[in-house]
Amino acid sequence: MPLGDRGSDKSEARFCGVETDFNDDMPQVLSFNLSTGGFDFVVAPLMDPSYRPSLVQNNSLGSGALPFAASDLVLSPSQWSSHVVGKISSWIDLDSDDETLRIDSETTLKQEISWASHLSLQACLLPAPKGTSCSNYARCVNQILHGLSNMQLWLRIPLVKPDDDSVDAKPATLVDSWEIWNSFRLLCEHHGQLSVALDILSTMPSANSLGRWFGESVRAAIINTDSFLTNGRGYPCLSKRHQIFINRCFNHSIQIIISGNSGHPKASADSNDFHNYSVADLQRHPLRQYLEYVGHLYQKLDPLPDQERFELGYRDFLQSPLQPLMDNLEAQTYETFEKDAMKYLQYQRAISKALLDMIPDEEASVKTIVLMVVGAGRGPLVRASLQASEETGRKLKVYAVEKNPNAVVTLHALVRLEGWEDTVTIVSSDMRHWNAPEKADILVSELLGSFGDNELSPECLDGAQRFLKPDGISIPSSYTSFIQPVTASKLYNDVKAHKDVAHFETAYVVKIHNAARLAPCQSVFTFTHPKPVVDRESNQRYKKLHFMIPNDTGSAMVHGFAGYFDATLYKDVHLGIEPSTATPNMFSWFAIFFPLRTPICVKPGSKLEVDFWRCCGTTKVWYEWCVTSPSPSPIHNINGRSYWVGL
């Protein structure tokens, strides 16, 4: 593995391949490029590039054998599948006006894919469309996709977009290559086995333009040697903009492929640079120095933080949100949440500030604050409250209210273990139905979901508010939900795989990683506690939002909306996951994802209008959402038919 190791990061991005020419001797191709060159895999043509079906007489092939690179027996099945990506003949043009070329192209494409499938290759690299029209190419590929088992097809797309940020771009002649990809994948119905291999050129579009690709299904980045510069020692290097892009590729599990011929002089063997190969190595493989440079970039990446390592297995994995009122949480769920030290530290800070505000120093020894933890779980907020009491020197009387009888067992054991019997009273009851023996000065809860109110904190705290004193404090005191439009091809395809409307009308908790955020977040719904007695406002909400797509982004596909929250616990103590204000080192909440049944294409500089509703019934709460501009979508989840939270 030439690129190095990053702790527990085992993504495909640590592998690097090389594009090769046609060669009949596949064992020699692997030996030269893997053993000598140090690459992990080859992108190799499967068929003699001079072959054309129309030039071959029916009987000239003798037994009918096609001019493939080699018999399937020359490599083991594991070598074919692990070390070879098939490169489909680059001459094919399925949208050519030349009928002979078009028919030859279609025949050859099907023959090569069939052979690659026979070899059990993991992927094949399809040549880039020859022009802006690619409907026949896409039709043939779509036919093939519907007959494939597990093999991926990577469509080669040059990374170009005409804009002012691309110095050498000629807007009159360049087309935004994302438009070509988008047209192709729409014709192929967003098929999950169709991905992108980006051809990295010497000039790069703007950062916003590049960003949208990280929400697409990009499996490889092909760097031609022409894109490399030469440093002072004569070694290949990349521009800062290229380096930033390649680093993002590493972090999104995109594999690097080196292509082209060496254009750099061989450096001296006694160099003190980062390269550790000899002149003999360079003479054996001319592209080794490019591989070493890519490995150098990989090894320079900062190690993954503990939180990122913890969350690796959750990246882009769709989970159904919790039903905290209908279901009792399991011990494993409690344990995961309780490990989030930052969350409870923020709660402790908020409680400490509230205690100091409520009791002056001169009354600290004689006055006792009544604090109720509603939804106490297995006791982390009880512990945080008592630590705040000790920190501030204020006296507390704590009621720990919990409806889950299994968690109550643990609470009793905790109280005995810590010797809290004189301070903590455990109440096994639903907070909405409990009759408190006295009023509380402070009400503490952790009922927030990924979207703030989606685990029914408003309804629960409305029910618990009756036992809070008129001047009492609620922690949290308010929370706001946020959304932003995202390109998230993987999430969309994972939802689409269920082949029903219901999954497109469900909100999912997900650690969103391979996504492009197309516009800044906007606030949706806000709830404040305690709610004034005179305020009989319903917990139903409706909001229309307007997102502007930046001019330099280019066109992009909106697959859905990422949702977040930000909460004010008390005064200036915040807690949340909204990206611009997110609490660091906190993992209790991932984002929420609202999918669209049909993705919406947005143009640069255009406005995206979105409507969101929070609806309340007698037994459930649910969300409805839709897009009204640039083109209207259906209203998702009408009447909560697919997704709801039970009261």
- Domains (range + CATH), the chain: 12-296 (3.20.20.150), 331-446 (3.40.50.150), 478-646 (2.70.160.11)
Q: Hey, what are 134's tokens?
A: 């690619």
Rounded Cα distance, 585 and 308, in Å: 9
Contact between 221 and 257 (Cβ < 8 Å): yes
Contact between 378 and 420 (Cβ < 8 Å): no
Q: Hey, what are 376's tokens?
A: 């106490």
The amino acid present at 226, given as its one-letter code, is D
pLDDT-derived band at 510, boundaries 50, 70, 90: very high
Which pLDDT tens digit goes with each residue over 140-166? 999 999 999 889 999 999 998 776 544
**Distance from CA of residue 158 to its chain's centroid?**
23
Residues in the chain, overall count:
647
Q: What is the pLDDT of residue 612?
A: 98
pLDDT-derived band at 636, boundaries 50, 70, 90: very high
pLDDT-derived band at 535, boundaries 50, 70, 90: low
Is 455 known to be catalytic?
yes
Q: What is the pLDDT of residue 272?
A: 39
Q: Which residues are annotated as a binding site for S-adenosyl-L-methionine?
A: 334, 343-344, 402, 430-431
Q: What is the pLDDT of residue 432?
A: 82
pLDDT-derived band at 269, boundaries 50, 70, 90: very low
pLDDT-derived band at 265, boundaries 50, 70, 90: low
For the chain, how long is the longest CA-to-CA vector? 106
Q: Which residues are annotated as a binding site?
A: 334, 343-344, 402, 430-431
Q: What is the pLDDT of residue 166?
A: 44
Higher-confidence residue: 326 or 59? 326
Q: If we measure between CA atoms, which residue out of 165, 266, 271, 174 comes closest to residue 209?
A: 165
Is 446 known to be catalytic?
yes
Q: Is the peptide bond before 405 cis (omega within 30 degrees of 0)?
A: no
Rounded Cα distance, 551 and 603, in Å: 8
Mean pLDDT, the chain, integer:
90
When pLDDT is averaged across residues 248-266 and rounded to a whole number, the result is 89
The amino acid present at 409, given as its one-letter code, is V
Q: If we measure between CA atoms, which residue out of 629, 632, 625, 259 comes closest to residue 640?
A: 625
User: What single-letter DSSP state applies at residue 376?
Assistant: -
581 has pLDDT over 70: yes
What percent of the chain stands above pLDDT 70? Answer: 92
What DSSP line would sit under 279-309, residue for residue? HHHHHH-TTHHHHHHHHHHHHHSPPPPHHHH
Range with the lowest mean pLDDT among 134-138, 169-173, 199-203, 371-375? 169-173
**Distance from CA of residue 622 to its chain's centroid?**
25
Catalytic residue of the set 112, 455, 459, 505 = 455
Catalytic residue of the set 216, 308, 446, 624 = 446
Exposure b/e, 66-85, CB count within 10 A at least 16 = b: bebbbeeeebeeeebbebbb
Rounded Cα distance, 129 and 133, in Å: 8
Rounded Cα distance, 81 and 41, in Å: 10
Contact between 398 and 371 (Cβ < 8 Å): yes
274 has pLDDT over 70: no
When pLDDT is averaged across residues 107-112 and rounded to a whole number, the result is 96
Range with the lowest mean pLDDT among 35-49, 218-232, 526-540, 601-615? 526-540
